Amino acid sequence: MTLVLSTEKLATKLEQQLPGSIIKSNKDNLLVNSGFLFNLASFLKTAPGLEFDFLSNITAVDYYDYFEVIYQLTSTKHNHSLVLKAQCYGRDNPVLPSLVSLWRGADFQEREIYDLMGIKFEGHPNLKRIVLWEGFQGHPLRRDYLSW
Amino acid sequence: MVIKTEPIILNIGPAHPSTHGVFRMRTTLDGEVIVEMEPIFGYLHRSIEKLAEERTYTGFIPLTDRLDYLAAMSNNLAYCLTVEKLAGIPVPERAEYIRVIIAELQRIASHLIAVGAFLQDCGAFMTPFLYMIREREKILDLFEMVSGQRLTYNYMRFGGLSQDIPEEFLPALRKFVDQMPSYIDEYDQLLAENEILLARTKGIGILSREMALNTSASGPVLRASGVEWDIRHADPYSIYPRFEFEIPTGMVGDCYDRYWIRIQEMRQSVRIIKQAMKQLPPGPVRSTVPWLIHPPVGEAYAHVEAPKGELGFYLVSDNSIAPYRCHIRGPSLINLTALRDMVVGWKIADAIVIFGSIDICMGEVDR
Amino acid sequence: MIGFNYSLGLESYGRTLPPDWPGGFWWHWLVFTVIILAFVMTVLLGFVWFERRALGRMQARLGPNRVGPFGLLQPVADALKVLIKEDIVPTQADKIVHWLAPVVTLVPVLMIFAVVPFQDGALLVDLNIGLLYVVAVSAVPILGIFMAGWASNNKYTLIAAMRDVASVISYEIPVVLSLAGVVLIAGSLSLNQIVLTQNTPLILLQPLGFLIFFIGGLAEINRTPFDLLEADSELTAGFHTEYSGMKFALFYLAEYAEALALSALIATFFLSGWRGPFLPPWLWFLLKIVAMFFVIIWMRATLPRIRIDQLMALAWKFLFPLALLNIVVTAIEVLVWPEALPWGLIPVNIVVAGILVLFLSKKFTLGWGRIEV
């Protein structure tokens, strides 16, 4: 059974490593400061005992004040999993660092989030629309995009 | 004197004579060798995730059928598991067993089409494809007995199934399960040692172990590269811990390994079905759940081992009748991330074979 | 000084006109032209039906069974459909070449049948260089295919046509060399003579030659396992993508006519043509052609196709050395042991063929691997 790592212990450990990176540790996920996201993710990927080598899923949710991007990480070696969340504010130009250089599986998923939600990922090699055609105006999955 | 050549840009697709749906590969060719490849899709985007915010939870179940339309029961199962995790709905025993039987039957049906289409891409005119369709017809007859549908079943509900299995289902299933291993042996024998197939698929399109993990490949693609990661073993859902089955794992990660793994997985699925049929208890098939459910505020992510990979649903609820956000982690989309690296350096004919061996369903890619 | 001896054909022609033939030269020519055209067209229609029906039965389904009893009128329905279709020519295509390509592909295949014997002495013209004529004429349809691929102004067809030219040129060599073995044993280039000298079918005396001719012939007529031209899953429909209507029908017929020609040639060279015990000779000939065609259909239903560079590797690295070794072995046998022909040599030949095939098949790699870009 995949062990869902206890977030409090992990939060204290990560705070020691990268101070200021964890904003809040909830029951089953860690809310991360978006400036530290890339360093934290690379630490999680390579640290012995953690070694999250598999990025299962990236999702973005539109709460009207902020966008929240959720990363589901898994380690096939130790069989444990973790959920990271990062928030970005502002509806005109929300920006987050891209994790493509750590896990290539983030490639298409980040492009899809850019396409449908409008969140830009810095450092993505090929950030363009993926499911909608080029020239489409707007980002349909936002809650204020009315489809009728 | 050196003759000046230039690479040409060729579009393979979107209207493919192969059976994989609307997918476009924009390849740059130098002679026959592919120098650069860019996959372009989105021709089948139906904005299912946006539609989820306007449908009720129960009303969204038929839409999940249309994701991977060749393995619809697995999609239903993943969605129902997510909502049950979100709202804390229990599932009775009989429903769990029937769910496992149906999911494994669906795995066999999906792999039959995958292997048939793969062999057709290799060039075996239509013979293996038609033989496998013949078996798939038997499975579709079983599904028609159970849900009345042949392709988009809409069978699972929160807390169990929509209706119980009829009396003629178990004898027909017994007959199918007794005959199926001999058919799988027939397919194995038909082409497994064929020189031409080996020349076309062995060593072609190798996906190394590190690259497979890095690009989040899942399902048979990941297992062919040597990673023993099957969600039914690693993070079991439903009642899978009660069954014993093996996980076939490849060693090299070429097209032949992916084909071989699918054939072995069919055998393991038959094994699971036999065990489930023996242990099937009587009882209700649905716990009492209101038709219009209001899950508590929160979020949940649940994943199953669909035939094509790891299918996951991420639901956010705000205690209303419709999900606040529903995200679908489609395995075919994420398996495609590695396609460019698998294809570059090979020839056009190999690109088709490699693409066929990943086993894509465009409904999941574009959603 | 090179001079053309135009009278070569006619002289020998006049010599082999059967003495009891009524009428004269032109009457003989007319009757046999009509016989050949009727034979080819009828058997072609029969082959279209036979292939679809046999392929269907092998694939666990019925073939055509609606049009006429057992679907026998299906080719007629196909012909009618094709005749009433609109003839679409792409605007940027080279019109004359586009129009001429099907003709250049079909007519030479019909010309092959001029020297194939249906019965003892029953052929249009018994050229004493019959085999050379066959080899020469069978190289012309590839020109038609390339014209089709070029004139369609389409990248896919161009790639397909180039593949085809490369493969046909590569396979001409082993095919012609394997026929040299037949000529060494039969002692003549005339097809009628070759059949007359086959008291035992040459397939037993030349198993290697048969294999090379069969595989090379399949590659030349672009049938599975070498049908990367019409590979549906790759480049749409290959060189005839832009053709519709009657021109497409001509390409379709040309493919079956080439298969018929290959079956007829194999029956003549290796299966002792029209010779057989009880039935009339032309019936034996027909039966052998149908049997060979059935083997070709069988291979289509069963085998996947190989890639273009694997195809070329097979021709140059496997079949070509094999054909050369075949000639050497046959020549040694004919020179050293002429009195052991034929019965003593059959086991020797089969053993030698087996050893050579097994040995050479380990020694070459089929195609290239991944190319670093």
Cβ-Cβ contacts under 8 Å, B347 against chain C: 307-309
Q: Could you write out the DSSP letters of every residue in B52-81?
A: HTTS-TGGGHHHHHTTSTTSHHHHHHHHHH
For B127, the closest of C156, C227, C302 (CB atoms) is C302
Neighbours of chain A (3+ CB pairs under 8 A): B
Does position B55 have pLDDT exceeding 60, yes or no?
yes
Give the residue from B32, B13, B25, B29 showing the smallest Cα distance to C308: B32
Nearest chain A CA: its distance from B14 CA (Å)? 14
CB-based contact A111:A60 (threshold 8 Å): no
Cross-chain Cβ contact B131/C234 below 8 Å: no
Task: Determine, yes or no, domain membership for A114.
Answer: no
B42/A140 touch (CB, cutoff 8 Å), yes or no: no
CA distance C300 to chain B (A): 7
Question: Which of C296, C258, C115, C137 lies closest to C190 in space, CA to CA?
Answer: C115
Mutation for C interface: B5, B37, B112, B196, most C CBs within 10 A:
B196
> Quick check: C8 pLDDT over 50?
no
Q: Give the range among B19-28, B132-141, B296-305 with minimum mean pLDDT.
A: B19-28
Q: Which of residues 24-53 of B touch C (CB under 8 A)?
A: 30, 32-36
By C-alpha distance, the chain C residue nearest B194 is C303
When CB atoms are compared, the residue of B119, B125, B203 closest to C301 is B125
Q: Please state, as a whole number, how many other Cβ atoms lie within 10 Å of the Cβ of residue A93.
A: 9
Contact C232 B17 (CB under 8 A): yes
pLDDT, residue C263, reads 92
The verdict on a CB contact (< 8 Å) between C307 and B200 is yes
Model confidence band, residue B172 (pLDDT cutoffs 50, 70, 90): very high
Question: Do the chains contact at B345 and C300, CB–CB below 8 Å?
Answer: no
Q: What average pLDDT score do residues C289-310 get?
A: 88
Q: What's the whole-number mean pLDDT along residues C246-266?
A: 89
Contact call for B and A: 3+ CB–CB distances under 8 Å: yes
Nearest to C110 by CA among C214, C215, C39, C30: C39
DSSP B347: B
Residue in B closest to A141 by C-alpha? B50
**Tokens, residue B351:** 């690109």
**SS3 category, B244:** coil
Query: Is C169 in a helix, a strand, or coil?
Result: helix
Please check the confidence at residue B17 and state whether its pLDDT lies above 70: no
Q: Which residues of B touch C302 (CB under 8 A)?
A: 124, 127
Across the interface, of A1, A61, A108, the residue whose CB is closest to B333 is A108
User: Is residue A117 over pLDDT 50?
Assistant: yes
Contacts of C351 (CB under 8 A, 6+ apart): none
Query: Are the C-beta atoms of C154 and C242 separated by less than 8 Å?
Result: yes
The CATH number of whichever domain residue A64 belongs to comes to 3.30.460.80
Buried b (16+ CB within 10 A) or exposed e, C260-281: bbbbbbbbbbbbbbbbeeeeeb
| A85 SS3 class | strand
Q: What is the pLDDT of residue A1?
A: 73
Residue C17 has pLDDT above 60, yes or no: no
pLDDT given for residue C221 in this prediction = 85
Helix, strand or coil for residue B248?
coil
pLDDT for C19 equals 55
d(Cα C29, Cα C125) in Å, to the nearest integer?
Answer: 8
B59-76, pLDDT tens digit by residue? 999 988 888 889 999 999
Q: According to the model, what pLDDT value does residue A137 have? A: 84
Nearest CB among B45, B227, B337 relative to A132 is that of B45
Q: What are phi and psi of A39, to 5 degrees?
A: -65, -40
Task: Return the pLDDT at B314.
Answer: 92
For residue C224, pLDDT beyond 80: no
Chain B contact set for C303 (CB, 8 A): 123-124, 194, 196
Inter-chain residue contact B303 with A56, CB threshold 8 Å:
yes
Strand segments (E) across chain A: 3-4, 22-25, 30-32, 54-63, 66-75, 80-89, 95-97, 120-122
- Residue entry with tokens 């042996």: B185
Q: What is the rounded CA–CA span in Å between residue A113 and residue B97? A: 37
Interface test mutation site (partner A, options B216, B305, B326, B334, max chain A beta carbons within 10 A): B216
- Single out the residue of B264, B258, B84 nearest to residue B156, CA to CA: B84
For C321-369, write each residue's pLDDT tens digit. 889 988 998 888 888 776 665 677 777 788 888 888 888 877 777 767 7
Spatial distance between the Cα atoms of C201 and C271, rounded to a whole number of angstroms: 5
| Cβ–Cβ gap B216/A140 under 8 Å | no
In this prediction, residue B18 carries a pLDDT of: 63
> Which chain B residues are closer than 8 Å to A53 by Cβ?
213-214
Q: Which chain B residues are Cβ-neighbours of C166 within 8 angstroms? A: none
Residue of C nearest to B135 (CA): C60
**CB contact set of B306 (below 8 Å; sequence gap of 6+):** B68, B71, B74, B75, B78, B219, B331
In this structure, the strands spanning A54-63 and B8-12 are unpaired
CATH 1.10.645.10 applies to domain B8-366 = yes
Q: List, for residues B214-242, the tens digit of each pLDDT value.
A: 888 988 999 999 888 888 888 888 888 88
Residue A63 to residue A146: CA distance in whole angstroms: 16
Q: DSSP for B121-150?
A: HHT--SHHHHHHHHHHHHHHHHHHHHHS-S
Q: From the CB of residue C169, how many other CB atoms can be counted at a distance below 10 Å?
A: 14
pLDDT of residue C107: 92
Q: Which of the residues B334, B335, B358, B365 would you substitute to probe the A interface, choosing the one with the greatest number of A C-beta atoms within 10 Å? A: B334
Q: Which pLDDT does position C4 carry in this prediction?
A: 38
- At residue B249, what are phi and psi to the nearest 5 degrees? -130, 140
How far A57 CA sits from the closest chain B CA (Å)? 6
pTM for this predicted structure: 0.88
Average pLDDT across chain C, whole number: 82
Query: Average pLDDT over chain A, rounded to whole?
Result: 85
What's residue A19's pLDDT? 78
Q: Is the peptide bond before B7 cis (omega within 30 degrees of 0)?
A: no
- Looking at residues B274-287, what average pLDDT do you find? 89
Which run of H or of E encompasses B301?
strand B298-306
Q: What is the pLDDT of residues B92-116, one digit of tens each?
A: 999 999 999 999 999 999 999 999 8
Q: What number is the ipTM of this complex?
A: 0.89
DSSP for C281-342 reads HHHHHHHHHHHHHHHHHHHHHH-----HHHHHHIIIIIIHHHHHHHHHHHHHHHHH-GGGTT
Domain count within chain A? 1
Residues A96/A121, Cβ–Cβ less than 8 Å: yes
Determine the residue of chain C that is closest to B14 in CA distance.
C236
The answer to whether position A131 is within a domain reads: no
Mean pLDDT of C116-128: 78
B347's tokens: 């020839």
Inspect the interface and report whether the beta carbons of C231 and B123 lie closer than 8 Å: yes
3-state secondary structure of B309: strand
Cross-chain Cβ contact C234/B349 below 8 Å: yes
**Residue in C273, C368, C262, C107 with CA at minimum distance from that of residue B31:** C368
Residue C294 pLDDT > 90, yes or no? yes
Six-digit token string for B141: 């007859």
Q: What pLDDT shows up at residue B100?
A: 92
**pLDDT for C5:** 39
- Summarised one tens digit per residue, pLDDT across range A59-81 is 999 888 888 999 988 888 888 88
Q: Could you tell me which residues come within 8 angstroms of residue C150 by beta carbon, excluding any fewer than 6 positions away? A: C94, C97, C157, C158, C161
Residues 6+ apart with CB under 8 A from A31: A22, A23, A24, A25, A85, A86, A87
Q: How, if at all, do strands B33-40 and B24-30 pair?
A: antiparallel
Inspect the interface and report whether the beta carbons of B347 and C231 lie closer than 8 Å. Answer: no
Contact B47 A57 (CB under 8 A): no
* Closest Cβ–Cβ partner in A54, A131, A147 for B216: A54
- Whether C187 shows a pLDDT value over 70: the answer reads yes
What domain range is A88 assigned to? 3-105
Beta bridge pairs of residue A83: A72
A66-90 burial code (b ≥16 CB/10 A, e <16): ebbbbbbbbbbeeebbbbbbbbbee
- Model confidence at C75, pLDDT cuts 50, 70, 90, reads confident
CA gap B124, B190 in Å, rounded: 11
Residue C139 has pLDDT above 70, yes or no: yes
pLDDT greater at residue B185 or residue C9: B185
Listed range (A55-64, B239-248, C236-245) with the worst mean pLDDT: C236-245
Residues A3-12: tens digit of each pLDDT: 777 777 888 8
Instruction: Report yes or no: A99 and A41 within 8 Å, Cβ to Cβ.
Output: yes
The number of beta carbons lying within 10 Å of the beta carbon of residue C107 is 16
Is the residue at A75 inside a domain? yes
Q: Do C301 and B349 touch (CB under 8 A)?
A: no
Range with the lowest mean pLDDT among B44-48, B96-100, C241-245? C241-245
List residues in chain B touching A: CB distance below 8 A. Answer: 41-42, 45, 47, 49-50, 53, 211, 213-217, 227, 229, 234-236, 299, 301, 303, 310, 312, 314, 316, 324-325, 327, 329, 333-334, 336-338, 366-367
Residue of B10, B44, B42 whose CA lies nearest to B26: B10
The reply to whether B135 touches chain C by the CB within 8 Å rule is no
Report yes or no on A16 lying in a domain. Answer: yes
Cβ of B312 within 8 Å of Cβ of A72? The answer is: yes
Q: d(Cα C17, Cα C338) in Å, to the nearest integer? A: 32
In a domain, A115, yes or no: no
